[in-house]
Every structure is written in C-alpha cells, then in structure tokens.
A = this chain, B = another copy of it.
C-alpha cells in the first residue's frame, strides 16, 4: 500500500486543467447526490465555477445512478460530463455501467469490498474499502459515501481538506455532523490499492 504522500495521483493535479469532470455513481440510497453536492459546494467556495447534474427516475431507484460535477476556473459552458477525469463506482451495477466510459488517463475509484472490477476500462483502477471502513470503524454504512468522497478528493487532488470539511459543516444536519466528520477523517488520505485499467 502506498503511503499518503505517494498516493497523490498526479494526473489531475499536474495538468492544472481548466475543467475537471467528476462522475460519482452507485445505487439509490448510497448518498451519491450528497457527495456530489459537497464536492460542488466546496469547489465553489474555493472560488471555482461548478455545475452539478443528477439523474432521477426508475433507473436511479433500481440500478445504477450517477451524479456529476464539472469544476472549472472559468464559466462552465457545457455542463455534460463526456470524458470524466475522475469516476467513482460504489456498486457493481454502477461499475458495470460506467467503467467502460472512463477514458485512458482518468482515475476510476471503486469500493473494493462491493465491486469486482470485471468490466473493461481504460482508466487507472483504484480500490478502497470504503463500506468496510464505515462499518468496522464507525458502525454505520450510511457514511460510505463520505469516506469515498474524502478518499478520492485527497488522492486526485480535487479540493483541499479544509474546504471539504467546511462544506460538510454547512450541508450535514447538526446531529449527524460528528459522524460525518469522523468518516471524512477516515477517508482523507486513506490507503488505496492500484492497478492499471
């Protein structure tokens, strides 16, 4: 397992891109939309332009659902995510649906306990035991999304910890904040396993 400093993927950070496309996917109830909202809010507060898009419908209730965030230094003209720089898959159905759309050079994060990365992808595969950490360390699977968001945000260099923590404080109801902040600390810089896509 790489240490934290080594685990920072240079892909997104070094390119200093004008536009970063992030796709978060999972099953209904896994808190994908909240994770996207937190990332969008934190990015906006740090001075960037952000557009967030989420889908609802029969599909979102049953199988794989997604929420997307486009982060840009300038106004976002085109809100659609066509070639995600960062993808998260929290369920097998989400992986099977979206892995093939993650391009070469992009980062694909998945829950290593919930997903067997069987589908074809050109992206770098990065696994983390997000759901397992949530259950074993906090006894609450409901914060799997926060652990995963913190893990990928730190690893991909999407946002600084303070901005994301502040977004949690603004967005999470007071009685759940302590749990969510603990989940955030568990995920930020956590060990991840890597393989080429």
Contacts and interface: CB of A to CB of B under 8 A. Distances in A.
A80 interface: yes
Interface stretch (A18-26, A36-44, A133-141): A36-44
A52 B69 CA distance: 12
Contact of A40 (B56, B80, B173): B56
Interface residues on A, range: 20 to 34
Given A79-B79, A80-B79, A80-B80, A57 B53 contact: no
Contacts of A51: 53-56
B44 A57 contact: yes
Interface of A: 40-41, 43-44, 47-61, 75-76, 78-80, 173
A57 B78 CA distance: 15
Indicate the member of A41, A48, A80 with the most B CB atoms within 10 Å: A80
Contact of A59 (B41, B49, B54, B59): B49
